[in-house]
Amino acid sequence: MTNRRPALLAALALAACSPSAPDTSAAPATPPLAGARIGGPFTLVDQDGQQVSDRRFAGQYRIMYFGYTFCPDVCPTDMQTIGGAMKLLEASDPALAARIVPIFVTVDPTRDTPAVVKQFVTAFHPRIVGLTGSPAAIETVKKEFAIFSAKGDAAPGGGYLVNHSRQAYLMDPDGKPLALLPQDKGPQALADDIKRWAR
């Protein structure tokens, strides 16, 4: 009978000397955007025509998404994902869901009046807050949140498109950034990331 013990010991020694694979299942200790200079005070107009400031959302986590209601594809898809994630959270963790406010901020204030914004946001979830304002006010909040947007090409059937950056920020109850949410990966991925960082 062949003695396999030396070969086995050698294999165990090699395994012990090899670096172990990093544990990717554990969440980093700090959120990826912690300390980033994103966000700040703002005063805008909500979908009911009421002037609101960032202080209205103090003590709540916020999903900040920037887009426009005439967007032909990306914005409605992303908003549907955000609304879907909220429904998943309401079913799995209602206490956490109650502490989150999804906020849609238009980058096209010329066309996105409060009434237009209201019709848009209520199609995706009843708790989404839609914000618009003067062009100057929108420019200010875009700068605070590092959002790019610019009037683009003419749209089919009239009007125009708006080129804009595509991101959804998760902000903490003090209005500080925590993470970019994966709104392009579907409601479950977005809900999972919120649970990961909202504590």
- Domains of the chain and CATH, by start: 40-197 (3.40.30.10)
pLDDT digits (tens, 9 = 90+) for 118-146: 999 999 999 999 999 999 999 999 999 99
What pLDDT band is residue 29 in, cutting at 50, 70 and 90? Answer: confident
**In the structure encoding, which two tokens stand for residue 67, read together?**
């887009």
Express each pLDDT in 8-26 by its tens digit: 333 333 333 333 444 444 5
Report residue 28's pLDDT band, with 50, 70 and 90 as the boundaries.
Answer: low
pLDDT (tens digit per residue) in 32-83 = 999 999 999 999 999 999 999 999 999 999 999 999 999 999 999 999 999 9
CA atoms 33, 36, 39, 41: torsion sign = positive
> Positive or negative CA dihedral for 137, 138, 143, 149?
negative
- Whether 71 has a binding-site annotation, put simply, is yes
Alpha-carbon gap, residue 121 to 116, rounded angstroms:
9
User: Is residue 17 part of an annotated ligand binding site?
Assistant: no
- What value does the mean pLDDT of the chain take? 88
Angstrom distance (rounded) from CA 82 to CA 71: 16
Beta-carbon neighbour count of residue 145 at 10 Å? 19
Report pLDDT for 15: 36
Q: What pLDDT score was predicted for residue 156?
A: 77
Question: For residue 3, is pLDDT > 50?
Answer: no
